Chains A and B, each alone.
Chain A
Amino acid sequence: MDHRIRVLVAKPGLDGHDRGAKVIARALRDAGMEVIYTGLRQTPEMIVNAALQEDVQVIGLSILSGAHNAIVPRVMELLHEKGMDDVLVTVGGIIPDEDAAQLKKLGVAAVYQPGASLEEIIDFIRSSVKQTA
Chain B
Amino acid sequence: MELMAKLSSEVTTAGRKTLSGIPVEPVYTPDQVRGLELPQPGEFPYTRGIHRDMYRGKLWTMRQFSGFATPEETNRRYRYLLSQGQTGLSVAFDLPTLMGYDADHPTSEGEVGKCGVSICSLEDMEILFRDIPLGDVTVSMTINSPAPVIWAMYLAVGELQGADWSRMSGTLQNDILKEYIAQKEYIFPPRPSMRLVTDVIEYSTQRVPRFNPISISGYHIREAGSTAVQELAFTLRDGIEYVDWALERGLPVDSFAPRLSFFFNAHNDFFEEIAKYRAARKIWAEVMRDRYSAKDEKSWKLRTHAQTAGCSLTWQQPYNNIVRTAVQALAAVLGGTQSLHTNSLDEAYALPSEHAVTIALRTQQVLAYETGIPSTPDPLGGSYFVESLTAEMEKRANEYIRRIDEMGGMIPAIERGYPQTEIANASYEYQHTIETGEQKIVGVNAFVEENEKPIELLQIDESAHEHQLEKIKNLKSRRSNEKVTASLDALKRAAEGRENTMPFILDAVRSYATLGEICDAFRTVFGSYTETSVL
Contact = CB atoms under 8 A, between A and B. Distances in A.
A18 interface: yes
A59 B445 CA distance: 27
Given A16-B183, A65-B111, A96 B428 contact: no
Contacts of B183: 16-17
A81 to B, nearest CB: 19
A35 B533 CA distance: 13
Nearest to B316: A115
Nearest to A115: B444
Interface in A99-133: 113-115, 117-119
Given A22-B535, A26-B535, A65-B111, A117 B315 contact: no
Contacts of A39: 530-531, 533
A14 interface: yes
Nearest to B348: A114
B96 interface: yes
Q: Which of A19, A41, A65, A118 has the most CB of B within 10 A?
A: A19
B104 interface: no
Given A19-B427, A115-B315, A37 B533 contact: yes
Given A16-B183, A94-B348, A94-B350, A118 B95 contact: no
B431 A114 contact: no
Contacts, number: 99
B394 interface: no
A114 B428 contact: no
B110 A67 contact: yes
A119 to B, nearest CB: 6
A66 B349 contact: no
Contacts of A2: none
Q: Which of B110, B315, B454 has the most CB of A within 10 A?
A: B110
A69 interface: yes
A19 B110 contact: no
SS of B interface (majority): loop
A15 interface: yes
Contact of B427 (A16, A22, A37): A22
Contact of B315 (A65, A71, A113): A113
A13 interface: yes
B110 A40 contact: no
Interface residues of A, number: 35
Nearest to B109: A70
B115 interface: yes
Contacts of A115: 314-316, 441, 443-444
A12 to B, nearest CB: 10
A14 B348 contact: no
Contact of A118 (B224, B316, B435): B435
Q: Which of B183, B315, B533 has the most CB of A within 10 A?
A: B533
Contacts of B311: 19
Contacts of B457: 96
Contact of B111 (A14, A17, A25, A27): A14
Interface string B368-397: 000000000000000000000000000000
Contact of B428 (A26, A67, A69, A94): A26
A65 B184 contact: no
Nearest to A18: B184
B349 A65 contact: no
Interface string B108-123: 1111001100000000
Interface string B88-117: 000000011011010000011111001100
A67 B183 CA distance: 17
Contacts of A52: none
B110 A70 contact: yes
A69 B460 CA distance: 12
Contacts of B316: 115
B436 to A, nearest CB: 10
Nearest to A63: B110
Interface in B195-231: 223-225
A122 to B, nearest CB: 10
Nearest to B351: A66
A16 B115 contact: no
Contacts of A70: 109-111
A68 B109 CA distance: 10
A68 B110 CA distance: 8
Contacts of A14: 95-96, 98-99, 101, 107-108, 111
Nearest to A13: B111
B287 interface: no
B443 to A, nearest CB: 8
B185 interface: yes
Contacts of A18: 184, 224, 533
Nearest to A95: B349
B440 to A, nearest CB: 13
Interface in A26-74: 26-27, 29, 35, 37, 39-41, 43, 65-71
B424 interface: yes
A65 B95 contact: yes
B184 A40 contact: yes
Given A13-B95, A115-B441, 18 more contacts: A14-B95, A17-B183, A17-B184, A17-B223, A18-B184, A18-B533, A19-B223, A19-B427, A22-B535, A23-B427, A23-B431, A40-B531, A43-B107, A67-B110, A67-B114, A69-B110, A70-B110, A117-B435
The 3 A-B residue pairs with the shortest CB-CB distance in the complex, in nearest-first order = A70-B110, A16-B184, A67-B110
22 contacts: A13-B107, A14-B98, A14-B99, A14-B111, A16-B183, A16-B184, A18-B533, A19-B223, A23-B431, A26-B535, A29-B535, A37-B533, A37-B535, A39-B530, A40-B533, A66-B460, A67-B109, A67-B114, A94-B349, A115-B443, A117-B435, A117-B445
Interface of B: 95-96, 98-99, 101, 107-111, 114-115, 179, 183-185, 223-225, 311, 314-316, 348-350, 424, 427-428, 431, 435, 441, 443-445, 454, 457, 460, 530-531, 533-535
